Amino acid sequence: MLEILKDLCNLPGISGREDKVRDYIISKIDGYCEYETDPLGNLIAFKKGAKTPKNKIMLDAHTDEVGMIVTGIDSDGFIKFTNVGGVETAVIIGRNVRIGEKNIPGVLGIKPIHLIEKDEEQTLPKKDDLYIDIGAKSKEEALSLVSLGEEIHFESEFIEFGDGFIKSKAIDDRAGCAVMIDLIRSELEYDCWFSFSVQEEIGTRGAAVSAFTVNPDYAIVLETTTAADISGVKGEERVCVCGNGGAISFMDRATVYDIDLYRKALDVARNNNIKAQTKTRVAGGNDAGAIHKSRGGVKVLTISVPTRYLHSPCCVCKYEDIESVRDLAKAMITELAQ
Amino acid sequence: MEYGEVRELLYELCALKGTSGNEKAVAEGICGMLGKYMDARTDRLGNVTGTKGDGYSILLDAHIDQIGLAVTAVDDDGFVKVARVGGADCRVLTAAQVTVHGREDVFGVVTSTPPHLKGDDSENKVRKFDDITIDTGMTKEQADKIISPGDRITFNAPFDTLAGNRIASPSVDDRAGVAAILRCLQLLEGRKTCRIDVMFSAQEETGGSGAKVGAFNSQADEAIACDVSFAKAPGVNAEKYVALGSGTMVGYAPSLDYNISRRLTAIAVEKNIPHTEEVMGGRTGTNGDDIQVSGRGIRTALLSIPIRNMHTAVEVVDLADIENTARLMAEYIIERSAENA
């Protein structure tokens, strides 16, 4: 699963441009399940298990990542852009990016510290003033390399470091995708549906239609969520903690989760000796927000990999937590099937 | 690829890491590179120096240190606290990848504050250095075995090739200057010149201590300092800033020797070397200031290479500007050697 995760994280795929990620996933699940790509680009897979379940279960993870999109090129050949998904200015200034079909290298520049006024020291530039420098000497040269509407993603290679940690762009939510690929390639006790969903980061658009198509009784969303277990942060403020297993949500800004299902997940984890924890803050949102309102309603559960510095070029998580999420998801398929 | 020689030099130089006061690794690497052209050694403060030829002498200077951070503590959660070394810029640290140069090199990420812990502060508020921590993925117990206060931290970012022979990398300030001098020595190979002293100086970013003592040891007849300066960029548009790729910048300042400055401009015109004039009102903020007043005084000139995003992990330079700086330096040395033979 580590190698697959690494490949997935290194692929570009902002919202609406998930093609390369989808093609890769197909190459890994082909022969292990039935699958089809829907009109929006969701990859919907059906994996035959040993038994037919009483309830129809769908797992979901999103294929897109946050990034930027080219909106213009100024008269000096600098690239203007807007964000795709939630990207803070602080994490992109001074970073390296890659743009579009030709994978053109660029950097986000800033006025040097030697030349700024006092107030500029304390405030980052406005979003509209940000730009990407690709080295072009003119607008014409820039236009020969980059087109309006092309995707921009972070240049940030997958690295293993420290005490079992990994660092990469797009761990949100290639971690969930890697878990689903791993489950599809393994033997399952019961039949299960999988939605590799597009466009989560711009408002859970893909999952809204894949849930309609699959029409499940239960859905398990495999995600990443903020781990604020960093310097000096204590107790529930940490939201969840790297190394303590999958974070299970009882409520976030998009979903009030089925309380029985939430409790059942914690019980199943405990009974199977799988690490899991409660997400201790009502924050964020994910595909569950769209899925639970699909058709006549779906009971949803979210299990997330605790991840530091989400939506930055350097997301950090513990690999063992991804394994815990996989183990709990697998146990829950069996639990909910009966 | 155009400017292949300069590119290769810059690539090799930017792969070396060394912040002010901790230049040992970078000094060793550069000592080896300089050793191809002259006897090279390291002095008491960590400058790499070399000399070649006899008689009238010209000192060439560029600094080898780069801005960075230093470890002040490993906190109870295993996160590394920092202080700045040189003019590090807090605005560009969040989510940066770094290397902590402890007993061994350690990979790290500069932490960012999750949205729910930001309170009412606006998203665009810059954090203070005291609030910056580095995540090495280690527990305190693990980190304490490798990382100690005083260890230096540098950016871990790629040597990125942009369009049009332009490079983005950490430490272009002032490895571009070092590359220009090494390239100048390449261009002069096989020629008889006056004495050339080279000083690749330590501790420029923290105040120029290296150049001060290195120039004293040299006591050359004249000197050319070679550093980077500001190129035009969005937000950096005043008339006085020049475009990237517009050539070497000949410094004019009260502290610089007016005759050498004018001579450099005249040679650039005569030899068709792209150049601009960079005029300053007092001192220059470079090693030139320290070289000028070392010992009994040295007549000093300044050649600068325009870069964008100075003191970030993405300092952008045009290889042509390095090449043209090297060419002008070489032509100047050839003329002065003939005059003083």
Task: List, by residue number, the catalytic residues of A.
Answer: 200
Give residue limits of the domains in chain B. Answer: 4-66+170-339, 68-155
Could you list the pLDDT tens digit for every one of the 338 residues in chain A? 999 999 999 999 999 999 999 999 999 999 999 999 999 999 999 999 999 999 999 999 999 999 999 999 999 999 999 999 999 999 999 999 999 999 999 999 999 999 998 888 889 999 999 999 999 999 999 999 999 999 999 999 999 999 999 999 999 999 999 999 999 999 999 999 999 999 999 999 999 999 999 999 999 999 999 999 999 899 999 999 999 999 999 999 999 999 999 999 999 999 999 999 999 999 899 999 999 999 999 999 999 999 999 999 999 999 999 999 999 999 999 999 98
Contact present, B289 and B254 (Cβ < 8 Å): no
Strand partners of residue A52: none
**Best mutation site among B74, B97, B169, B174 for testing chain A: the one with the most A CBs within 10 Å?**
B97
CA distance B103 to chain A (A): 15
Work out the minimum CA distance from B114 to partner chain A, whole angstroms: 7
Query: How far is the alpha carbon of B39 from chain A, nearest alpha carbon, in Å?
Result: 36
Instruction: Specify which residues A300 forms β-bridges with.
Output: A219
Residue A5, classed as helix, strand or coil, is helix
* Residue A147: strand, helix, or coil: coil
Q: Which two tokens stand for residue B196?
A: 């050339």
Record: contact A107-B79, CB cut-off 8 A: no
State which fold the B68-155 domain adopts.
Elongation Factor Tu (Ef-tu); domain 3 (2.40.30)
List the domain boundaries for chain A. Answer: 2-65+169-337, 67-154
DSSP type of residue A295: T
Q: Which residue has the tokens 């089809």?
A: A36
Cβ contact, residue pair B230, A112, below 8 Å? yes
Count of residues making up chain A: 338
ipTM of the complex: 0.92
Q: Cα angle vertex B188, ends B187, B191, to 5°? A: 140
Collect all residues with Cβ–Cβ distance below 8 Å to B38 and sequence separation of at least 6.
B50, B51, B52, B185, B196, B198
Structure tokens at A275: 């690490």
d(CA B225, CA B257): 12
Q: Do B233 and A308 touch (CB under 8 A)?
A: no
CATH class belonging to A2-65+169-337: alpha beta
Q: Does domain B4-66+170-339 have CATH number 3.40.630.10?
A: yes
CB-closest option in B114, B163, B313 to A228: B114
B55 and B194 Cβ atoms separated by less than 8 Å: yes
At the second CATH level, the architecture of A67-154 is Beta Barrel (2.40)
Tokens of B80: 């590394």
Would you call B163 and A104 a contact, using CB atoms and an 8 Å cutoff?
yes
pTM for this model (two decimals): 0.93
